[in-house]
A and B are shown apart, each in its own frame.
Chain A
Amino acid sequence: MSSVDQRPTGTIYEQVQATPEFRAFRGRLRRFVFPMTVVFLVWYLAYVALASYAPGFMAIRVAGNINVGLLIGLGQFVSTFVITQLYVRFAEREIDPAATHLRGLVEEGNR
């Protein structure tokens, strides 16, 4: 927390950027959002590709007239809602407290 005072060079933003706290915070955020982005994109593109290259599979009736394609499509809705809520929980636990703390460092340094 007092690391800002020990780095007299550069703007306050450069000083904060250089703190281990900021680096750890940035890493935590990226380790969540980048893999999650890959997951939802792959899952979505798999759905699109299956419809194109395995239409027979997507056309298999599961219950009545409900087929695999429709179920996977509805699965996209479910996964979107789930990822949204996961991210909200992650952000409230991990991002907001750290962001507030680091913002405090910047504002302190600007006084």
Chain B
Amino acid sequence: MSAPYVLAQAAPAAVGSVAANVSIFAVFVLITLVVVFRVSRGNATRSDYYTGGHSFTGPQNGTAIAGDFLSAASFLGIAGAIALYGYDGFLYSIGFLVGWLMALLLVAELLRNTGRFTMGDVLAFRMRQRPVRAAAATSTLVVSLFYLIAQMAGAGGLISLLLQIPKTDRFSQAVVVVVVGLIMIFYVLVGGMKGTTWVQIIKAGLLLVGAAVLTAWVLGRYGFNLSEILGRATLNSPAGEAILDPGLQYKSKVDFISLGLALVLGTAGLPHILMRFYTVPTAKEARRSVVWAIWLIGIFYLFTLVLGYGATALLPPGTITAANQNDAAPLLAYALGGELLLGIIAAVAFATILAVVAGLTITASASFAHDVYANVLRRGKASPDSEVRVARTTAVAIGVVAIGGGIVANGQNVAFLVALAFAVAASANLPTILFSLFWRRFNTTGALFSIYGGVTICVVLIVFSPAVSGSSSSMIKGADFAWFPLSNPGLVSIPASFLLGVLGTYLGGREKFDAARFAEMEVRSLTGAGAVKATTGKVEPSRAVSVSSVGAIPTFGPVDGGTRGDRGRAGRRDVTDPSEGLTAPQEPVDRPASGRRRAVPPPGPNEVTVPHASLYDRSAWRD
């Protein structure tokens, strides 16, 4: 990220008064949080914690997906990138949106039909459970961590703006990142998974309305003439006319293409997005949710074009620099509506970050607890209590690492940082998901090669790229150990990961091909037979908001065994191995057939309970 246009920090002398900024912001955040807690209160059944009982409707889930996806990168990062680099910044909007077609056409419905909670479920379907689950959890953790670092950096910058801490005061900035990070971890532990979906829905509404208001305001200033805004931006930008044309930020053609590739292929591999496909009852609803998400996200990204160029057009020349580019949207709000609008927009941005951090942290800790701890380390014999501890400790550990990373990455464009997470997701997850859904021969060795190879190549290339060291805008200043020329590794790591998947599959060719298991996966994925159904049959009347979502969903009996029809209602049994019931009629591949497991009839998919389901349940804290 070269920054040739850093003017002499002509920072706006004062952006509102600190007290006014903070109080408006705090009131707004408090109201939002109170609403969220009220909405999400009440005890729910166990599988609710991972997936809301698979009982959200398509539109609800689509809105939540938009809330999960539109992170600080989309609001603060893209607006800043367009304000500073114009055309090159707009690539983020387009790549982030177009990538959704991959999720819609190839992934969402098939994934909904084959898995239950995590990406590991899908891979474990016809491969050796323990190694692929460990691999899937590893890539989930790495992707989530990159994503979280970006969000922490964005949150730190945002609060620093409200408190008017100068960008040069690195220490105070770091303190802000730590405090904000701790608040977010606290929120995740207290608010939990139930609240997260509603945070995301409410936040998506706030964000879209906030961005729409700003957009209309900017357009209104220029007689609803986009060309006029662009013209004004060329006058204010230090780059002049060049801000409308390609090539301002990316001098290297290959770098631009590499970024573009990572953006478009990353979406369908993001673990926290994949997990959201399981919150709906059927594949058709998964499709509807993606369609809703695409429309909401697309409309939002159209706003970013106006916001970015509008910030350059309306703010005094030189206000937006490489150092404060994440502040473009809040500064624009201040220029338009003073302290009140700044406070509101900053609160919306904060809610945005909070929702994404909550979703990411819970996905990552759930993946670790569900895939690694319960299935790999304890082979399905973990006690619920110990799993609660593991998951909550994981959440805290992930948060702490993200805070550290956020301090290092503070000042980088948030969209740029998230694009790195997209590169890891596209390298580690996408090839494995596509191969296991569509390629008959794909096997465990192939999956392991692709996931571990993709993660390793991607992370190594990032560490030795100009993004980390060796350029004026690197994260680590004054060091130069960069030998990889591209700031985003997608162009190399994504094809490499696909190739490794193929290579591994042929090297592991002697693994026994399980025709029955493949048939089951293919038939299930395409038809929805045997898919996990909605579990929420009955809801406490106090959960007023959920009623609408539940009312539409009939509670199905399990399809693959008439004998189990009633049990889901009668009471849920604890099943020690969550993998059972995923494919009820057959033995898991890597386990020798043993009479012991079959002695207990396999549970229907509805009744499989998650051992650490009370993970984030506040009522569970009492014991």
Contacts and interface: CB of A to CB of B under 8 A. Distances in A.
Interface of A: 10-11, 13-14, 16-17, 22, 25-26, 29, 33, 36-37, 40-41, 44-45, 47-49, 51-53, 55, 58-59, 63-67, 69-70, 73-74, 76-77, 80-81, 83-84, 87-88, 91, 96, 99-100, 102-103, 106-107, 110-111
B567 to A, nearest CB: 16
A80 B230 CA distance: 24
11 contacts: A11-B520, A13-B523, A16-B519, A17-B523, A36-B105, A45-B260, A58-B245, A58-B246, A67-B244, A77-B302, A80-B294
Contacts of B515: 10, 14
Given A64-B227, A64-B230, A103-B528, A13 B295 contact: no
A93 to B, nearest CB: 13
Given A59-B244, A84-B101, A73 B529 contact: no
Given A81-B298, A103-B527, 10 more contacts: A11-B520, A26-B522, A41-B264, A48-B91, A49-B257, A59-B246, A69-B87, A77-B298, A102-B527, A103-B559
B105 A37 contact: yes
B157 interface: no
B287 A76 contact: no
A55 to B, nearest CB: 5
Contacts of B104: 84, 87
A75 to B, nearest CB: 10
Interface stretch (B92-100, B183-191, B455-463, B470-478): B92-100
Given A13-B519, A70-B87, A99-B528, A80 B101 contact: yes
B90 A91 contact: no
Contacts of B526: 22, 25-26, 29, 99, 102
A87 B294 CA distance: 13
B531 to A, nearest CB: 9
Contacts of B291: 84, 88
A-B pairs, 4 with minimum CB distance = A64-B227, A48-B260, A51-B246, A65-B230
Interface string B143-168: 00000000000000000000000000
B523 A22 contact: yes
Nearest to A102: B527
Nearest to B113: A99
Q: Interface residues of A: mostly helix, strand, loop or mixed?
A: helix
B519 A69 contact: no
A67 B245 contact: yes
A76 B523 contact: no
Contacts of A88: 287, 291
Interface string B259-281: 01100100000000000000000
B257 to A, nearest CB: 5
Contacts of B257: 45, 48-49, 52
B587 to A, nearest CB: 12
B621 to A, nearest CB: 41
B239 interface: no
B211 to A, nearest CB: 15
B226 A66 contact: yes
A69 B524 CA distance: 43
B102 interface: yes
Contacts of A87: 104-105
A65 B98 contact: no
Contacts, number: 169
Contacts of A69: 87, 244-246
A44 B526 CA distance: 27
Interface in B521-538: 522-524, 526-530
Contacts of B138: none
B508 interface: no
Contacts of A80: 97-98, 100-101, 294, 298
B256 A81 contact: no
A76 B97 contact: yes
A13 B524 contact: yes
Nearest to B256: A52
Nearest to A58: B246
B529 A53 contact: no
Contacts of B227: 63-66
Interface string B579-591: 0000001100000
Interface in B513-561: 515-516, 519-520, 522-524, 526-530, 559-561
A34 to B, nearest CB: 8
A107 B524 CA distance: 11
B247 interface: yes
B234 interface: yes
Contact of B522 (A17, A58, A77, A91): A17
A44 B94 contact: yes
Contacts of A33: 105-106
A47 B94 CA distance: 10
B253 A110 contact: no
A44 B259 CA distance: 12
Contact of B585 (A11, A63, A66, A83): A11
Contacts of B562: 110-111
Given A17-B523, A107-B529, A83 B101 contact: yes
B284 interface: yes
B301 interface: yes
B243 to A, nearest CB: 10
Contacts of B294: 80-81, 84
Contacts of A99: 283, 526-528
B595 to A, nearest CB: 20
Interface string B220-238: 0000011110110010000
A16 B245 CA distance: 55
Contacts of A47: 94
A106 B515 CA distance: 17
A71 to B, nearest CB: 11
B516 A13 contact: yes
Contacts of B519: 10-11, 13-14, 16-17
A17 B560 CA distance: 17
Chain A CB within 10 A, most for which of B101, B226, B261? B101
A61 B274 CA distance: 41
B561 to A, nearest CB: 7
Contacts of A81: 294-295, 298
Interface in B279-304: 283-284, 287, 291, 294-295, 298, 301-302
